[in-house]
Amino acid sequence: MELDPLDEEGLLAGAVQVPSPNCDERPGDAAVRLLVVHNISLPPGQFGGEAIVQLFTNTLDFAAHPYYEAIRDLKVSAHFLVRRGGELIQLVPCTKRAWHAGSSSWWGRERCNDFSVGVELEGADDQTYSDRQYARLAELLVVLRRRYPIVDVVGHVDIAPGRKTDPGPAFDWGRFSPAKLRRRSSKLRLLLDNTPALVAHSRQDTICCGLGGNAPRTWFRRPPPGSAQK
């Protein structure tokens, strides 16, 4: 199933809407140019249940699990959550700034929340993500690129190295190679052929993938993102 476009408020009709209070306005001059991939599981390593959504909506029962006490003071969110089965939940309109990146920078620009969309995958660094999650993430990327000039897809680890590790080594950045994305749908092929280059980054391999009419069709290497921020 291909997703419908975003509406004027940055809401996606194909997503379950669960509004989070943990957001605010983007700076007026901040164009969305970055997609940040995260992972989350609550309790850690366990999937299913409502704890993730409860955390993002400030309704988590901290007595329900010993781990929850350690995150009592967190006020966080993301624009989207992709469940293991591919269910897509939207918590924050894309026009607003979700609180997902924290202290962060990308190519020398700090406060990545200002200019990014955050997507949480229900998962863990060392556990394989589902095919449905990869498919949903690719579909979401198509929708977002129709609205915003997104040029980079990164992990949380890439914008907060040393502080964050997600989406972890279990996330297969190769699933975003041009050939594999092109096979998803005719609309996606058209998008890739008629938009500026998109780059998917993997800090672990320092490998990037160019997508778009002006981009290479093969994998290539360049200095890791962290070195370019110095």
The residues assigned a catalytic role are 120
**What b-and-e string marks burial along 25-49, b requiring 16 or more CB atoms within 10 Å of the CB?**
ebeeeeebbbbbbbbbbbeeeebee
Q: Residues with Cβ < 8 Å from 39, sequence gap 6 or more?
A: 120, 121, 122, 123, 124, 125, 166, 167, 168, 171
**Per-residue CA distances from 10 to 4, 63, 78, 223 (Å):** 12, 35, 13, 34
